[in-house]
Amino acid sequence: MKKSIILLSMIFGLFAMYACSEDDAATDNDDDNDETTGDVVATPTLAFDEFNASAVTVSFDGDEITIVSNALPNHTSPYWSANDDLYIDPIVADEESISPGNITEASYTLTVPTEPELASTSTETGLGAIGISVTGVPIYNQSEGPTDVTEGTASGFDWSGGHSGPTGYHYHVEARDVGETSPLTIDDDELLGIMSDGFLIYGRKCNSIGDYPIDGDASNGHYATTQHSTEEFYHYHIVNEIYLNTYYLLFGVDLQGTQNAIM
Ligand SMILES: [Zn+2]
Ligand SMILES: [Zn+2]
């Protein structure tokens, strides 16, 4: 009698073990794809090939990546000085609203972890550089000095979404298709740059679906593959909402990781 109970419980135990391992195997993929687990994944190094090599130097040092930019973009603009090869007369910018100051060499340095992590709470961005774009030009949020960008200020943006300020030339909004050769994303899935928390930001579309993502979090970030990685990793997209009737703000949301200084 006792023997058969032991045998029965052994068989049951084996069955339970088998059932468990089956279950684990079946849910393994789901775990990897879970958007709420906060998986820590290394930023795909292939993405850094997209940066303007004449402005941006990227160095990899163990668990850190350092991005140094001279902020000189590889595209035309009326903000270049008139004798520069890349100078053009304004296409979309209202001449009256062109802000003072030309594109000049600057120095921005950002060091981020190779495996950036989502923070327990998101953080607002401040005035100044909050990311570095593929052209080397810093990414700004909606702040323009003590206030937000107004329609008047925005009408001075060049076709690439940039203008000059006391701290130099910077972008606020997505570039516009005016027939100029653009190294910047325009309503597509191209890389825009890297934010100060180390997460990459792409255009309004995601390469993983070939369309505007609909599974973005409060910062329009999500875990998905991109053209730079077959492994899903967390990245942002430009929010697909019209700003000031005409534009797409590059980043008017919170950072979901930990901010690093851009100096
Ligand atoms: Zn500005
Ligand atoms: Zn995506």
What is the tens place of the pLDDT at every residue in 77-107? 999 999 999 999 999 999 999 999 999 999 9
What pLDDT is stored for residue 188 in this prediction? 98
The answer to whether residues 98 and 78 touch, using CB atoms and an 8 Å cutoff, is yes
Rounded CA-CA distance 249/139 in Å is: 10
Ligand number with the minimum distance to the CA of 237: 2
- Which ligand ends up closest to the CA of 199? 2
The b-or-e profile of 117-145 (16+ CB within 10 A means b, else e) is bbeeebeebeeebbbbbbbbbbbbbbbbe
Q: Which of 217, 71, 41 is nearest to 131 (CA)?
A: 71
Question: Which ligand lies nearest the alpha carbon of 212?
Answer: 2
Report which bound ligand comes closest to the CA of 169: 1
Domain ranges of the chain: 1-33, 37-237
Query: Which ligand lies nearest the alpha carbon of 144?
Result: 1
Please say if the pLDDT value at position 18 is more than 70: no
Segment 170-221, tens digit of pLDDT:
999 999 999 999 999 999 999 999 999 999 999 999 999 999 999 999 999 9
Spacing, Cα 252 to ligand 2 middle (Å) = 17
Contacts of 244 (CB under 8 A, 6+ apart): 149, 150, 151, 154
Neighbours of ion ligand 1 (CB under 5 A): 144, 165
Q: For residue 120, report the distance from its CA to the centre of ligand 1, in Å.
A: 30
Distance 158 CA to ligand 2 centre (A): 27
- Calculate how far, in angstroms, residue 54's C-alpha sits from the geometric centre of ligand 1: 23
Distance (angstroms) between ligand 1 centre and the Cα of 16 equals 63
Ligand nearest to the CA of 167: 1
**pLDDT tens sequence across 144-172:** 989 999 999 999 999 999 999 999 999 99
Cα–Cα–Cα angle for 154, 159, 161, nearest 5°?
50
Whole-number CA gyration radius for the chain: 23
